[in-house]
């Protein structure tokens, strides 16, 4: 059999997923939990994808608390870093950037139903508290492929053609993904709350 030369390999229509870690996040997380307690005493929150949990109302990043503003700055840095990684044709720093955030608290049994975040480019989640588990799916966030399921690829076990991907980030970790990506959070199977701050990032041309 004659040889064949590969001339090019491209990843078409790939979906990026970024993970960032905040060093020494313990103090930040303690302050965010205190902020969450204050907000929960002020409002019952709103109903979105949360099932059995609490979702803060309004834009959390409008809150002047130092911990919230620190997280906002970290989220902005993550968005600019990720955007610069996926494109070399646009300087993300030259665009206007709007961040809209909210806090989620999932008590035992609480979860988030499958959903997307229309209208934004990026969506992110920062993990304030994540109850540790030895096994199972508790605390995991799962992403569903934006393509139709490809059952004929299952025999090859190729990750690039998988139908879903789940991860369990740790406290102090921030994940970032395209807002069109369907995602959901497994029910909390522990006795402690799982607390996160989620946000959307939207770019606009500066006037």
pLDDT digit string, tens, across residues 6-21: 999 988 888 999 999 9
Rounded distance between C-alpha atoms, residue 125 and residue 128, angstroms: 9
- The pLDDT of residue 71: 98
- 196 pLDDT band, cuts 50/70/90, is very high
Residue 149 has pLDDT above 80, yes or no: no
CATH 2.60.120.620 fits 18-204, yes or no: yes
Average pLDDT over residues 51-62: 97
- What is the residue-averaged pLDDT of the chain? 94
Closest CA to 105 of 164, 45, 61, 177: 45
- The pLDDT of residue 157: 87
- The pLDDT of residue 172: 98
- The pLDDT of residue 120: 97
Least confident of 115-119, 150-154, 165-169, 196-200: 150-154
Residue 59 has pLDDT above 90, yes or no: yes
pLDDT of 82-124, one tens digit each?
A: 999 999 999 998 999 999 999 999 999 999 999 999 999 999 9
Residue 148 has pLDDT above 80, yes or no: no
Distance of alpha carbon 86 from the chain centroid: 17
What's the chain look like in SS3? CCCCCCCCCCCCCCCCCEEEECCCCHHHHHHHHHHHHHHHHHCCCCCCCEECCEECCCCHHHCCCHHHHHHHHHHHHHHHHHHHHHCCCCCHHHCEEEEEEEEEEECCCCEEEEECCCCCCEEEEEEEECCCCCCCCCCCEEEECCCCCCHHHHHHCCHHHCCEEEECCCCCEEEEEECCCCEEECCCCCCCCEEEEEEEEEEECCC
- The pLDDT of residue 76: 98
- 147 pLDDT band, cuts 50/70/90, is confident
């Amino acid at each position: 059999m004659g040889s064949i030369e590969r001339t090019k390999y491209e990843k078409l229509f790939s979906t990026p997923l970024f993970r960032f870690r905040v060093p020494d996040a313990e103090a930040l997380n303690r302050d965010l939990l205190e902020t969450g307690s204050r907000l929960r005493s002020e409002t019952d929150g709103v109903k979105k994808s949360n099932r059995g949990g609490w979702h803060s109302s309004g834009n959390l990043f409008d809150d002047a608390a130092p911990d919230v503003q620190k997280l906002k700055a970290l989220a902005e840095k993550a968005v600019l870093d990720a955007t610069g990684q996926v494109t070399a044709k646009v300087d993300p720093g030259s665009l206007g950037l709007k961040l809209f955030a909210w806090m989620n608290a999932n008590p035992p049994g609480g979860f988030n139903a499958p959903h997307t975040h229309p209208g934004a480019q990026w969506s992110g989640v920062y993990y304030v508290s994540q109850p540790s588990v030895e096994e199972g799916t508790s605390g995991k966030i799962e992403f569903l492929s934006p393509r139709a399921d490809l059952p004929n690829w299952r025999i090859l076990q190729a990750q690039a053609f998988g139908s879903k991907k789940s991860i369990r980030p740790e406290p102090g970790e921030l994940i970032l993904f395209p807002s069109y990506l369907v995602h959901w959070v497994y029910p909390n199977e522990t006795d402690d709350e799982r607390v996160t701050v989620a946000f959307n990032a939207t770019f606009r041309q500066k006037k």
